[in-house]
Chains A and B, each alone.
Chain A
């Protein structure tokens, strides 16, 4: 563009920005935080999903759980349950509930009573009891069926107004860990009652009511979610009045918006770009995150049913190059599906290092020297994979060197997951991050035979011996025994290779320095419970 034009543009700009709000910030701007999320939530009830976007948007903000997990102390801490105790050899847990917890009061619902045992019973029965009124509203409960929690819990019994018993079919060492996840939230039974009277039960997941630190205000698809502070929150709440999720799927735009101040905090930043910008009002934080990105082979489809082919393809991939170019070195090469921080980690097995020669030989051995496959690459960024499409491009050229012709396939994220669950893919680049500290969370939701049915098993891989090990591992509480069982499970994985683990990434987020108190618990979504915003004046004092 030429001079006359830029002159004109700048003239208009100056004219309009002349009276820009200078240092004096307008009140609503200093009393709210904008989080630029990467996508639309599917629903406002985390029980119904496993998608990280939905969990980030809902779980910690709108709801509370019976217990929380404190990653620092590595212990379970009270939340809606003030205390709890295992009874009957760990097959019955008794929870003593907290008094004086208020549900959200909004323009569509005004609670008449405080939180009690009825709410807990309702919330658990929603996904547990197939005969309950709300079970079919909203469809399936993937987290609970994948972890087997729906099979594990026999029933939820209301002992008195403020006491609840959860009866298990058998003792399970991962039970409390699963209760502390973002999925095991508590809904309002009274609200559900009201909606079923109005004959609009589906609203329970669209216009949510919970006990969390924020209440739902409005949602505009592709634009924003607006939450306001819950004034009667039972514990220390946020220091802001408003929390807005500005939906910005494009990673590059998210970063630019952080720079211009249109976002206060962003997930999955382009680290290298931000470092190149080098702004002193922006802070990039990172934490160890229990996650793994992997390349799963659809073992139901030939030739991927042959372990030899899977091994050959794995030898063809230069994973170190992936870590250097895709993660910019901010990740660790994965040697097992479990991250090294897990106590059950085992790296004694065969290593699938980059070896095109061997890959070609193995392919010939398997009788598949001329192979044409597709690689499904997720269209969104995740903690474990900042750019799956680019990763697929890298792998494409690696594979070409061993004579494998790969085609990259990608759809819109919801369509992508739906088609993936139907098993339409040959191979897929996806990953997983842990919902809790238990190693079981990396195995059963991802690779058990039960997960084939729920669609969580991206490799469609069902191995009875492997499944047996997993069930033995959760039936015992003896740590050494469990460790041995998980190590043999990893051993099987390493030989069968239904998926090739690629990297364990650190979890990054970038934010304005004026935002404080946003927590990134290692197991679970983002938490704005204690979020505050400091003004520029306060900032310089500190």
Chain B
């Protein structure tokens, strides 16, 4: 396990290193001055010569990279070109807002996708299985932005059940602290916590559901195929022969092994979730990292673009690491690969 752990950590660190090299080189690819792109200090600013000197703009590239890394690790991510705010201070609020959606969608996708997948596998090639699989195919193919608009029109406008954009009705006056609205409400000193919580949940429903549909359908298909594969393995036949009933066979023998192979695909699902969250956040004006990124691209705010890219990629890398470690811990066979 220790060898496995250290090898995975090593891979993570190398990947992180490559990622920072990539974001560092972005500064030179982006239009404009590299130092401005890094720090948000414009060339005509009084501070520019000083900053440029510190960043070593005239020194070799290795020095600049080391300098960049020092700043990166100490949280000095420069200032936004459009608002002048320090990027790092705003990063975690956006990240937490995004995570709120993503975690919600992931949980929903697992809660519905996995059991339905298993269920479909037990009905293999039956009408229910066929129905579920076609549904999954449709749900997987529907463009998220279109689905979002349709659901907004139906649930928010036609039925008037749900609000459309933002995290909460701003009149509740919940100050953003962590960025995650639910946490913010709990730690706020508002007199109307219950009502605010209610309102925030109402705001969460639509984006979470829409975001969860694609991964849910993918998960459903993967789970169904994997479970079905397992059900045909000899060891399952052996279990049946021992007199276990179908349910026990499923839960004790087929599902755990199916989970192992599906877990391998979970990073893929997570990255799908993140790229969809960029679109969904823009549609729902959700103050998350994806929305921030899209706006920054419009405003050509390079320090912010960089921060968003770094954060999104890093989130994915970390998630992969955790999934890998879990697999290694839970399924010894993985460690021997």
Contacts and interface: CB of A to CB of B under 8 A. Distances in A.
* A touches B in complex, CB < 8 A: yes
Contacts of A27: 192
Interface in B53-104: 82-83, 85
Contacts of B173: 28, 226, 242
Contacts of B85: 221
A194 interface: no
Contacts of B175: 218
A450 to B, nearest CB: 24
Assign chain A's interface to a size class. Answer: 35 or more
Contacts of A31: 171
A28 to B, nearest CB: 5
B164 A262 contact: yes
Ranked 8 nearest A-B pairs via Cβ = A32-B171, A412-B298, A244-B170, A26-B195, A28-B171, A221-B83, A224-B170, A29-B171
Given A13-B161, A262-B166, A222 B295 contact: yes
A223 B166 contact: yes
A278 interface: no
Contacts of B291: 222
Contacts of B292: 222
Given A1-B139, A21-B198, A27-B192, 4 more contacts: A13-B161, A16-B202, A226-B170, A259-B160
A5 B210 CA distance: 11
Given A8-B112, A21-B198, A13 B165 contact: no
Interface string B280-305: 00000101000110010011100000
27 contacts: A1-B142, A1-B150, A2-B135, A5-B139, A16-B198, A16-B202, A27-B192, A220-B176, A220-B287, A222-B287, A222-B291, A222-B295, A223-B166, A226-B170, A226-B173, A242-B171, A253-B165, A256-B156, A260-B156, A260-B157, A260-B164, A262-B164, A262-B165, A262-B166, A414-B82, A415-B299, A415-B300
Interface in B97-145: 112, 135, 138-139, 142
A9 B163 contact: no
A17 B171 contact: no
B300 A13 contact: no
Contacts of B12: none
Contacts of B155: 9, 13
A13 B135 contact: no
Contact of A17 (B161, B287, B299): B161
Contacts of A253: 164-165, 285
B263 interface: no
Contacts of A2: 135, 138
B163 A262 contact: yes
A260 B205 CA distance: 15
Given A28-B173, A415-B300, A17 B162 contact: yes
Contacts of B295: 222
A308 interface: no
A414 B160 CA distance: 35
A259 B112 CA distance: 32
B4 interface: no
A61 to B, nearest CB: 16
Contact of B164 (A17, A20, A32, A257): A257
A34 interface: yes
A257 B287 contact: no
Contacts of A248: 165, 285
Contacts of A9: 151, 155, 209
Interface string A2-40: 101100110011001101110000111101101000000
A258 to B, nearest CB: 10
B16 interface: no
B209 A12 contact: yes
A244 B166 CA distance: 13
B195 A21 contact: yes
Nearest to A17: B161
A54 interface: no
B172 interface: yes
B9 interface: no
Contacts of A32: 171
Nearest to A4: B135
A24 to B, nearest CB: 10
Contacts of A244: 170-171
B1 interface: no
B169 interface: yes
Interface string B166-200: 10011111011000000000000000100100100
B164 A256 contact: yes
Contact of B205 (A1, A16, A246): A16
A224 B167 CA distance: 12
B51 to A, nearest CB: 18
B310 interface: no
B269 to A, nearest CB: 18
B166 A246 contact: yes
B192 A26 contact: yes
A256 B152 contact: yes
Contacts of A257: 163-165
Contacts of A246: 166, 170
B201 interface: yes
* Most chain B beta-carbon neighbours within 10 Å: one of A5, A8, A242, A415: A5
A31 B151 CA distance: 31
Contacts of B298: 412
B18 to A, nearest CB: 31
B94 to A, nearest CB: 10
Nearest to A262: B163
A262 B163 CA distance: 7
Interface string A410-424: 001011000000000
A454 B157 CA distance: 45
B314 to A, nearest CB: 23
* Most chain B beta-carbon neighbours within 10 Å: one of A26, A220, A226: A26
B14 interface: no
Interface string B205-223: 1000100010000000000
B224 to A, nearest CB: 15
Nearest to B85: A221
A17 B166 contact: no
A9 B207 CA distance: 12
A262 B173 CA distance: 14
Given A242-B171, A256-B152, A28 B192 contact: yes
Contact of B198 (A19, A220, A223, A414): A19
A262 B170 CA distance: 9
A29 B85 CA distance: 30
